[in-house]
Chains A and B, each alone.
Chain A
Amino acid sequence: MRETLGRADRASMQLLMGAGLALLSYVFVGVLLFTVVASLIVIGLGVLPETVLLLRRMAGSKRRQVGRWSGTEIREAYTPLTGTLVERVRKAVKDPGTYRDLRWLFVHFVYGLALLYVALPLWVIGALVDGVWCGLLGRKAVVLPLIGRLAELDTRWSTALLKPSPEAERNAELAQRVEELTQTRAGAVAAHGAELRRIERDLHDGTQARLVALSMRMGLARRVYDTDPEAVRKLLADAQDQAEEALAELRHVVRGIHPPILTDRGLVGAVRALAASSGLDVSVRDDGVADGPRAPAAVEAAAYFVVAEALTNAAKHSGARRATVELARGAAGLRLLVRDEGQGGADESGGSGLLGMRRRVAALDGTMEVVSPAGGPTEIGVELPCVW
């Protein structure tokens, strides 16, 4: 009984707020009329976007009301009112959401009040019937639950009127996708820029400096060539050391840009090479990546670095003896999975290279999932979208 009362109570509150909103929309109709009339003689155009925003806020507050009652939020999908005044007016007028909101406003004005009017007498009847009759006979309440039904009715009607049209919903999804892409693209550009600066620094501070030092030693050797053969010998030996170090550095830089074995052997061959030199017993499974066209170089490079990093982690930290790498050609791109039978508990904050992997994957609009419960196993799944 108490439960029935509580629910009826909440339903009444819901209906009361609905009616309140309906009354508020009565006031809003005044604002609306003013805007429309004023717009006819142009000056109202200035307030038209504000009026539409007000309308959206009212609809939004109804959406939240319904969401609180039913537990499922009604989606919102409006064209954002941005830009110059003219653009904002045009967007406000062209947005189908504006007309759906208006339709709701008028219809809700009727049912919002009507439902409350029906609910009020139900309380009186309910108090008599449920409270006295059912209370005395110990039966289940029959009238008070009806108030809950009224609130459900309100939910159903409001949902039907306020949910965005399929077209608007698709637009909203597209807008969200564009937003995501803009972000990942900005990330990719930033990552690319950072990469270029790193390469420039490596070449400048390392290789170039060594070549300057090398050239200097050669110059010195020429100066003392006739007078001090012993010094020449020493200078030449130093120069050769410098040249070798410059070469080693260049190799390192090149490997960081694009591992040469990717060019030689393709992704699967390169991953097999990684597996062979990982120190673990690694089995590599390929589902169609080696056959047919190759993935774009950036995708292959990212996949290669992810596998390299994951296997290094597995060998260093997991205590595993065995691991598996799976590569698969999907319709939307490249999928890869690295799994080790180690102790698990991989921590992203622990500087284990997971963050770097994630960044690298995100820069290509890919996704990465790490599952590593304490006690293992550790699984790293990556999807890199690409056109084959």
Chain B
Amino acid sequence: MRVVIAEDNALLREGMVLLLTSVGHEVAAVAATGPEVLPALLEHRPDVAVLDVRMPPGFRDEGLRAALAAREQIPDLPVLVLSQYVEETYAAELLSGGAGGVGYLLKDRVGRVDEFLDALERVAAGGTALDPEVVTELLTRRADDPLDTLTPREREVLHLMAEGRDNTTIATTLVVSDRAVSKHIGNVFLKLGLPQSDSGHRRVLAVLAYLNKG
């Protein structure tokens, strides 16, 4: 895959380049400041962009804004946004377009190399990768609603689904069969009153839209 990286910290930038090239990806360009990001994305049109939220010169949310701006011009451009901290609002902004190919993860997750690469590929393929911390926030903030009617196992399934995992991964993670996962998912959609939808990004969006409703 061809990747564009935007990261201002040289250590992390080099680390990321090393990591991606060592597994056979091609790093098309690296951007070290906010204003460089959008031109680099438009020029190289990568298979996936890995963007840091906070970048110079303002050290605010330049990376995120660049991601949103780029997706306005190239609607299907897959972006994986990394940050030192996660904000539900940012996740909502990234997902608001409704198009797939969005990831939002804590930088810490890069350390779990396999999981990170998996998330990167998922995003590049038009899927979703949402940090577990964001999902936890979404799941815990409400008290009195249908979420309480879910069994612990169904909650776990919902959590993994919201992170953007597919059925097979969910089954492996929870050590259950694919059929059991499908059954749990069916129950979750039934209890939350959501229409059944096929697997993949649309399903994640339905779940997230439900959780975001507040």
Contact = CB atoms under 8 A, between A and B. Distances in A.
Interface of A: 240, 243-244, 247-248, 251, 254-255, 260-261, 263-265, 272-273, 276-281, 315-316
Given A244-B108, A244-B111, A265-B61, A260 B85 contact: yes
Given A263-B59, A265-B61, A277-B141, A243 B111 contact: yes
Contacts, number: 50
Contact of A273 (B53, B59, B88, B143): B88
Nearest to A276: B89
A281 to B, nearest CB: 7
A280 B214 contact: yes
A281 B112 CA distance: 37
A241 to B, nearest CB: 10
Contacts of A265: 60-61
B142 interface: yes
A278 B214 CA distance: 8
Contacts of B141: 277-279, 315
B190 interface: no
Nearest to B141: A279
B84 A277 contact: no
Contacts of A251: 84-85
A51 B54 CA distance: 70
Given A251-B84, A276-B92, A316-B143, 10 more contacts: A240-B111, A251-B85, A255-B85, A260-B54, A261-B87, A263-B59, A277-B88, A278-B141, A279-B141, A279-B142
Contacts of B61: 264-265
A260 B84 contact: yes
B137 interface: yes
Given A264-B54, A279-B141, A254 B60 contact: no
B27 to A, nearest CB: 24
A240 B112 contact: yes
Interface string B72-91: 00000000000011011100
B89 A277 contact: yes
Given A248-B108, A264-B54, A315-B141, A273 B85 contact: no
Contacts of B106: 247
A72 to B, nearest CB: 54
A331 B59 CA distance: 30
A277 B111 contact: no
Contacts of B53: 264
A67 to B, nearest CB: 56
Interface of B: 53-54, 59-61, 84-85, 87-89, 92, 106, 108, 111-112, 137, 141-143, 214
Nearest to B137: A277
A272 B90 CA distance: 11
Most central of B53, B84, B92, B214 by chain A CB within 10 Å: B214
B111 A273 contact: no
Contact of A276 (B59, B88, B112): B88
A272 B111 contact: no
29 contacts: A240-B111, A243-B111, A247-B106, A248-B108, A251-B84, A251-B85, A260-B84, A261-B85, A261-B87, A263-B59, A264-B53, A264-B54, A264-B60, A265-B61, A272-B89, A273-B87, A276-B88, A276-B214, A277-B88, A277-B89, A277-B137, A277-B141, A278-B214, A279-B142, A279-B143, A279-B214, A280-B214, A315-B141, A315-B143
A135 B139 CA distance: 86
Contacts of A316: 143
B147 to A, nearest CB: 11
A247 B87 CA distance: 16
B211 to A, nearest CB: 10
Contacts of A243: 111
B88 A281 contact: no
A260 B214 CA distance: 23
B60 A263 contact: yes
B150 to A, nearest CB: 17
A217 to B, nearest CB: 14
A185 B124 CA distance: 55
Nearest to A281: B214
A281 B141 CA distance: 13
B108 A247 contact: yes
A315 B53 CA distance: 29
Contacts of A248: 108
B143 to A, nearest CB: 7
A277 B143 CA distance: 13
A370 to B, nearest CB: 23
A255 to B, nearest CB: 7
A243 B88 CA distance: 24
Contacts of A247: 106, 108
